[in-house]
Amino acid sequence: MLFQLVSLSVVFIGGILAEYKNYDGFKILEVNFQNPRVKKYVQEIDKNLGFMPDFLGENWKQKQAHYFIDKDSVEKVRTNLDSHNITYQMRDVNPQIFKVRKRRDLNGAVTINDVNNRYLSYDEQMQFLNSIAQQYPDDVKLQKIGNSYEGRSLTAVRIGDDGSSKPIVWIDAGVHAREWISYNVALYLVYTIVSQPAYRDLLNSVQLVVVPNTNPDGYEYSRTNDRMWRKTRSRFTNGRCAGADANRNYPFFWGTQGVSHSQCSEIYCGSRPQSEPEVMALTNAITREETRIKGYIALHSYGQEILYPWGHTMRTYPSDVQDLITVGKAMAAAIRAVNNTDYNVVNSGDGLYPAAGASDDWAKSRGIKYSYTIELSPIDDYTGFSLPEDRINQVCREAFQAVQVLMIEVRSKFGLRQTTSSAASAAAQSSLLLKRMRTSVSRGFGRGK
């Protein structure tokens, strides 16, 4: 027994502290792509450099693309940029990002206060969901939709599922492991909509399904081994590298553009469509009730963008794209009303490069009308995937407003059993929200997915 305890603590220290991947010497490359010549260079950066650097995100306000450059490539990248007369910045990575937080003892209940103030382990996330399900047994049902590659449970939180066929808004979070804020946002949505009586009415006519952690293996790995881990943790036969990019693994134009077929790439699309058990579970669960799902949001970070399909190729839009833009702008306006944070509404494919096999494209292809990817805060690369914990709550409150707009829109378009007056007030509320939109849509670079 004593021996077991000792060896466990060695594993703990080994996993959490000693072997957390060292990124000394790595740099963040920032390229300002306002100039068309530079934009063209950036769009072909893989050809120019001879490899595809890890794309982190973009700052659409400053028209900057951000890449993570490994220490052995820094000189080569500098030389290449210089020879193309590209101005750029090579920044040091914020060391705070790689500071390992001490795990809190799992001795107390995980509360909304924890969700608002710190990043949680997968076990803590599940503990929080279990306590919400116990506290609100009529409103919240936890549904297991499958297992991750390493056998962790994939859980859908069904809110307001009363057995009726009312329309559904479906939210996925955290398919990219390092995008930590997305998990807290999903848990916050679950808590807020069931705990606030103000949303009762909305839940009576629209069901919300939230999958707060669509990649638990990758997430735990990003907490214990490698802060920048993005992919799943699948092991492939003869594989040199683990994991696939689950957001390139959906069965719609799979493997065509903006992906890599090499296993070690950050955007490896997997060995075939749905090769990832996480993607198989999600596509099965959604397909089972796809005729009722009218809204879909995949939560990612970072970049403050609301992206709409199609993303698998450029300058190609669904026939109802104007509806997607209108509701996207209403979501952005609702976010801005919280504390003036700007989100850009932009097409997924018109960015630096299209990316096929993403979940929002697939959801749209299944007939889910309002399908989006939201890149949450921040917009800057210095904190990037490690949004400081004291900013978690604001991002949660902003995202909640966006989800509420989508639910109201779905209610007014697809709600059942409405009395004339509630239908009229839903429609009025919806058009009020749409009137609040201010920004016009700009063609930015929508590709952080």
Ligand X SMILES: *[C@@H]1O[C@H](CO)[C@@H](O)[C@H](O)[C@H]1NC(C)=O
Task: Examine the residue annotation and report whether 375 is marked as an active-site residue of this protein.
Answer: yes
Q: With CB cut-offs between 5 and 8 Å by kind, which of ligand X, Zn ion, none does residue 176 bind?
A: Zn ion
Report the residue number, 319 or 339, with the smaller CB distance to ligand X.
Answer: 339
Min CB(59)–ligand X separation in Å: 15
Q: With CB cut-offs between 5 and 8 Å by kind, which of Zn ion, ligand X, none does residue 364 bind?
A: none
**Could you give phi then psi for residue 370, rounded to 5 degrees?**
-100, 95
DSSP state of 177: T
Report the residue number, 63 or 397, with the smaller CB distance to ligand X.
Answer: 397
Report the residue number, 155 or 344, with the smaller CB distance to ligand X.
Answer: 344
Q: With CB cut-offs between 5 and 8 Å by kind, which of ligand X, Zn ion, none does residue 85 bind?
A: ligand X
Min CB(48)–ligand X separation in Å: 11
Min CB(222)–ligand X separation in Å: 26
**Alpha-carbon gap, residue 329 to 409, rounded angstroms:** 12
Report the residue number, 166 or 364, with the smaller CB distance to Zn ion.
Answer: 364
Residues 6 or more apart whose CB falls under 8 angstroms from that of 233 comprise 148, 149, 150, 217, 218, 221, 242, 243
Rg, the chain, Cα only? 21
Q: With CB cut-offs between 5 and 8 Å by kind, which of ligand X, Zn ion, none does residue 300 bind?
A: Zn ion
Min CB(392)–ligand X separation in Å: 10
Q: Out of 375, 389, 398, 409, which one is annotated catalytic?
A: 375
* 300 part of the interface to Zn ion, by CB under 5 A: yes
Exposed, middle or buried by CB within 10 Å (0-12, 13-18, 19+), for 35? middle
- Which segments of 160-240 are extended strands (E)? 168-173, 207-211
Per-residue 3-state assignment (H helix, E strand, C coil) for 265-325: CCCECCCCCCCCHHHHHHHHHHHHCCCCEEEEEEEEECCCEEEECCCCCCCCCCCCHHHHH
Report the residue number, 286 or 299, with the smaller CB distance to Zn ion.
Answer: 299
Report the residue number, 84 or 443, with the smaller CB distance to ligand X.
Answer: 84
Structure tokens at 280: 């198989």
Candidates 27, 152, 176, 227: give the one binding Zn ion (CB under 5 A): 176
Exposed, middle or buried by CB within 10 Å (0-12, 13-18, 19+), for 256? middle
Q: With CB cut-offs between 5 and 8 Å by kind, which of ligand X, Zn ion, none does residue 394 bind?
A: ligand X
Min CB(175)–ligand X separation in Å: 27
Residue with tokens 């297992």: 147
**Alpha-carbon gap, residue 65 to 69, rounded angstroms:** 13
Min CB(37)–ligand X separation in Å: 8
What is the x/- site pattern for Zn ion, positions 179-208, by CB under 5 A? x-----------------------------
Residues 6 or more apart whose CB falls under 8 angstroms from that of 3 comprise none
Binding site for ligand X (CB under 6 A): 84-85, 339, 394
* 231 part of the interface to Zn ion, by CB under 5 A: no
Active-site annotation, residues: 375
Q: What residues line the site for Zn ion (CB under 5 A)? A: 176, 179, 300
